[in-house]
């Protein structure tokens, strides 16, 4: 070995340098101790990184997935900073961030992919239908009791879209509230499954929505995980569920013809009074008739009593058309028999599907439109929509 002071070669067993007299053993021991500490720091750092990786596999029923993503990134960043403890502060921070991103982001993608593959059939999972007013009121009154009642359950509820946003981890979510109190706290915060993101991109504030997901508890807002959007008719009528899912229950071999084009007029306060019983039971319908809407009356089942057709205003229109609802008069009440977004002018067909005449989307000449989007259920078919089926 060499003298740390003058560089002269000394015997391995020597404690002092024969040339300059400097102590050799203490310097060597200090260097060895320093190297040992560096190695120990690296081991601790990699263990912290491993903890960050493990965090991504904590069940989302224990901790919300969005929270796990943030925790995993922070823990991994700290771990890489410890591994690089001998470097400058800037190097430790920068390299730690890069290392955390390289480790965590693939795990985030993997976790989201697994969640979405299982979420593809979310609408088929049995869900408890819950009033949004009741859900929010229960959590506002007693969080502990509300958790016992709802937490971990898959629920389906309807309300008014308040916001479409992204959280700190760049994950999209929507806020859903009630129409009765626009400033209510808490609201329903729905973390979207990947299959629901495109639908969220088409939504506008104030639009009625029906969501389904798993209750995770209260964190400022009531948290709903793995959310998907459900067509309103699925909630209102199990009888209409197939039509709401596929866009139409038209029999492919049947050819429909136009009887007459439906004439709509602006909704009035008296129309709202007639529909008020429905609005009291359905927050999204209350929002629909709370603004501008058009209305028509047609006897679609030839029983002498006209059904009521409602088309939402601008706030309820999107790329798929405007929200259109049909109600059948049953005594003093109105029952929803159809709810779907439709585009174009509407007409009553000569043909019936079940007990109702179907309605059809038509061009400005009164001709039934044909679907032209590849991969959609209506592609190449007449744009005809059965009522009450």
Residue 368: which of 248, 243, 233 has the closest Cα? 248
Tell me if 183 sits within 8 A of 241, measured CB to CB: no
Q: Rounded to the nearest 10 degrees, what angle do helices 25-55 and 65-83 cross at? A: 170
Q: Is the pLDDT of residue 84 over 60?
A: yes
Q: Which helix (H) or strand (E) holds 318?
A: strand 317-318
Q: What is the pLDDT of residues 38-69, one digit of tens each?
A: 777 788 878 888 888 888 777 765 676 677 77
Query: Is the model's pTM score more than 0.85?
Result: no
Q: What is the pLDDT of residues 140-196, one digit of tens each?
A: 889 999 999 999 888 988 888 888 888 777 788 998 987 645 555 688 999 888 777
Classify 13 as helix, strand or coil.
coil
Tell me if 283 sits within 8 A of 158, measured CB to CB: yes
Cα dist from 353 to 234, 252, 253, whole Å: 19, 12, 13
Q: What is the pLDDT of residues 336-349, one digit of tens each?
A: 888 888 877 899 99
- In whole angstroms, what is the distance from residue 71 CA to residue 48 CA? 12
* DSSP letter for each residue of 30-96: HHHHHHHHHHHHHHHHHHHHHHHHHHTTS-TTTS-HHHHHHHHHHHHHHHHHHHTTTS-HHHHHHHH
Strands 208-219 and 221-229: antiparallel
Q: What is the pLDDT of residues 219-257, one digit of tens each?
A: 888 999 888 887 543 334 333 434 334 444 444 446 889
pLDDT at 232: 46
- In whole angstroms, what is the distance from residue 58 CA to residue 67 CA? 11
Query: Which has more confidence, 266 or 186?
Result: 266
Residue 340: which of 365, 317, 370 has the closest Cα? 317
Residue 176: which of 151, 147, 201, 208 has the closest Cα? 208
Dihedral, CA of residue 285, residue 289, residue 293 and residue 298, to nearest 10 = 70
Mean pLDDT value across residues 342-367: 88
> Where does the pLDDT of residue 282 fall: very low under 50, low under 70, confident under 90, or very high at 90 and above?
confident
Classify 336 as helix, strand or coil.
strand
Tell me if 80 sits within 8 A of 95, measured CB to CB: yes
Residues above pLDDT 90, as percent of the chain: 11
CA 328 to chain centroid, in Å, comes to 33
């Amino acid at each position: 070995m060499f003298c740390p002071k003058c560089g002269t070669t000394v015997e391995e067993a020597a404690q002092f340098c024969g040339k300059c007299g400097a102590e050799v053993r203490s310097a060597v021991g200090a260097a060895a101790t320093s190297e040992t500490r560096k190695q120990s720091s690296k081991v601790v750092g990699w263990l912290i990184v491993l903890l960050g990786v493990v965090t991504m596999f904590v069940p989302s029923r224990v901790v919300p997935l969005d929270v796990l993503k943030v925790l995993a990134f922070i823990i991994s960043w700290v771990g890489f900073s410890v591994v690089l403890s001998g470097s400058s502060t800037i190097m430790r921070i920068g390299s730690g961030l890069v290392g955390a991103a390289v480790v965590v982001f693939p795990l985030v993608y993997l976790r989201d992919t697994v969640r979405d593959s299982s979420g593809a059939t979310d609408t088929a999972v049995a869900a408890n239908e819950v009033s949004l007013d009741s859900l929010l009121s229960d959590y506002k009154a007693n969080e502990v009791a509300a958790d016992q009642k709802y937490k971990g359950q898959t629920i389906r509820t309807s309300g008014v879209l308040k916001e479409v946003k992204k959280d700190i981890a760049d994950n999209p979510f929507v806020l859903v509230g009630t129409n009765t109190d626009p400033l209510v706290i808490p609201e329903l915060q729905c973390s979207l499954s990947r299959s629901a993101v495109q639908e969220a991109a088409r939504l506008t504030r104030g639009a009625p929505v029906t969501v389904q997901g798993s209750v995770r508890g209260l964190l400022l807002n009531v948290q709903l995980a793995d959310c998907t959007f459900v067509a309103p008719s699925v909630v209102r009528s199990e009888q209409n569920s197939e039509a709401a899912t596929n866009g139409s229950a038209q029999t492919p071999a049947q050819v429909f013809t136009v009887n007459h084009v439906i004439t709509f007029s602006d909704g009035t306060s008296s129309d709202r009074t007639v529909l008020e019983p429905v609005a009291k039971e359905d927050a999204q319908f209350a929002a629909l008739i709370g603004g501008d809407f058009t209305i028509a009356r047609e006897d679609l089942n030839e029983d002498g009593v006209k059904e009521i057709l409602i088309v939402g205003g601008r706030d309820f229109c999107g790329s798929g058309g405007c929200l259109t609802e049909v109600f059948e008069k049953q005594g003093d009440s109105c029952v929803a028999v159809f709810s779907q977004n439709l585009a174009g002018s509407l007409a009553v067909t000569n043909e019936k599907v079940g007990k109702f005449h179907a309605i059809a989307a038509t061009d400005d000449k009164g001709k039934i439109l044909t679907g032209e989007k590849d991969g959609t259920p209506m592609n190449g078919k007449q744009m005809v929509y059965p009522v009450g089926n």
